[in-house]
């Protein structure tokens, strides 16, 4: 969000300078001059930058935007270090910065991997999977997901080993090798893999996760979505901080375009 604001400011400043030069400044420089007077540096820079910034700003705001995956909460679908592309018009065209829909096109579907503004702090972008749609009745207990009374089956694939970053007593990060179970899950039309660990889940009092552990069934409010990470036991998601409102949607993730450490992941579609 901060980068979008920065781009908008630069776009407006360079555009105003360029327009002001066309309407006023150029005529003042040429008045009484014998020959062509060169443009000042600030006009030259504005003329050069404005078209480029306008193009980039338009593409990022309405068509596609790149993101980098910062953590392992979406493993095994997405890995930390993946650079992905997000479709910005799947869920409707939105006013830049304000994020209000001005041209509706579609809604998130169950199983989508979507990017959104983190509800407790909208300046941060998060990525999770859409699990619950408005009106859905959700249960998640003993690591078993139930949607509208239907138990979502999990089919075991294989053990999954990876390095988990944890903080020691001194607050220093260190890598610990852990083993999870990799399982296949079907959400709507999307079949994908999730990770389940043999650990007890813990949630803050009153959180959705805590209410699930008490056996409660949660109804997703209208205009909001229930999101979970594919790394089910290592994800800060709706179980921790609540639902994702329509106003916080950014777009649908669809493509991995780069990974410095694992080149074979380049070109993979996200589903």
How sure is the predictor about 39, in pLDDT bands with cuts at 50, 70 and 90? confident
Q: Which of 128, 235, 238, 252 is catalytic?
A: 128
Helix H segments across the chain?
2-20, 26-30, 41-62, 208-213, 238-241
The predicted model gives 88-104 an average pLDDT of 95
| Residue of 14, 61, 73, 238 with catalytic role | 73
CA distances from 122 to 105, 181, 217 (A): 23, 33, 27
Query: What CA–CA distance (Å, rounded) separates 148 from 262?
Result: 39
Q: How far apart are CA 21 and CA 30, in angstroms?
A: 11
Asked whether 38 and 52 are in contact (CB, 8 A), the reply is no
Tell me if 147 sits within 8 A of 138, measured CB to CB.
yes
| Annotation marks residue 238 as catalytic | no
Residues 122-172: tens digit of each pLDDT = 999 999 999 999 999 999 999 999 999 999 999 999 999 998 877 766 767
Does position 109 have pLDDT exceeding 80, yes or no? yes
Q: Are 61 and 1 in contact (CB under 8 A)?
A: no
> Over the stretch 210-233, which tens digit does the pLDDT of each residue have?
999 999 999 999 999 999 999 999
- Report the distance separating Cα 59 and Cα 163, nearest Å: 36
Q: What residues contact residue 73 under an 8 Å CB cut-off, 6+ apart? A: 128, 229, 230, 231, 234, 235, 236, 237
Q: What DSSP string runs through 190-223?
A: EEEEEEE-SS-----TTSHHHHHHTT--EEPPTT
Cβ neighbors of 175 (< 8 A, separation 6 or more) are: 163, 164, 165, 166
Please write the tens of the pLDDT for every residue from 176-213. 899 999 999 999 999 999 999 998 889 999 999 999 99
Query: Are 253 and 263 within 8 A, CB to CB?
Result: no
Is 128 annotated in the active site? Answer: yes
Enumerate residues 6+ apart whose C-beta is below 8 A from 108. Answer: 91, 114, 130, 133, 225, 249, 252
Task: Write the CB contacts of 248 (distance below 8 Å, at least 6 apart in sequence).
Answer: 99, 116, 117, 118, 119, 122
Q: Extract the runs of DSSP E, i.e. beta strands, from 92-172.
A: 93-94, 101-103, 113-117, 125-132, 137-141, 144-147, 150-151, 154-167
Full-model pTM: 0.91
- What was the pLDDT predicted at 34? 64
CB 228 within 8 A of CB 127: no
Would you say residue 1 has pLDDT above 90?
Answer: no
What is the mean pLDDT of the segment spanning 113-120? Answer: 97
């Amino acid at each position: 969000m901060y980068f979008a604001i920065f781009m908008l400011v630069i776009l407006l400043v360079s555009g105003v300078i360029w327009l002001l030069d066309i309407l006023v400044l150029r005529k003042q420089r040429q008045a009484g001059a014998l020959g062509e007077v060169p443009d000042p540096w600030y006009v030259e820079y504005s003329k050069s930058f404005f078209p480029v910034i306008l193009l980039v700003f338009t593409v990022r705001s309405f068509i596609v935007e790149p993101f980098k995956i910062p953590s392992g909460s979406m493993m095994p679908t997405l890995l930390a270090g993946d650079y992905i592309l997000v479709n910005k018009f799947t869920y409707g065209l939105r006013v830049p910065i304000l994020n209000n829909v001005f041209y509706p096109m579609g809604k998130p579907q169950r199983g989508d991997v979507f990017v959104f503004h983190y509800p407790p702090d909208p300046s941060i972008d998060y990525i999770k999977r859409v699990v619950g749609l408005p009106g859905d009745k959700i249960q998640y207990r003993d690591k078993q997901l139930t949607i509208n009374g239907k138990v979502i089956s999990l089919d075991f694939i294989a053990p999954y080993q990876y390095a988990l970053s944890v903080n020691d007593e001194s607050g220093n990060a260190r890598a610990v090798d852990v083993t999870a179970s990799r399982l296949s899950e079907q959400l709507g039309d999307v079949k994908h893999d999730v990770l389940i660990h043999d650990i007890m889940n813990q949630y803050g009092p009153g959180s959705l996760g805590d209410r699930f552990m008490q056996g409660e069934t949660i109804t997703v409010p209208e205009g909001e979505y229930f999101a979970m990470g594919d790394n089910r036991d290592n994800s800060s998601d709706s179980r921790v901080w609540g639902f994702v409102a329509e106003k916080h949607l950014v777009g649908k993730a669809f493509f991995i375009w780069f990974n410095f450490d694992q080149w074979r992941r380049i070109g993979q579609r996200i589903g």
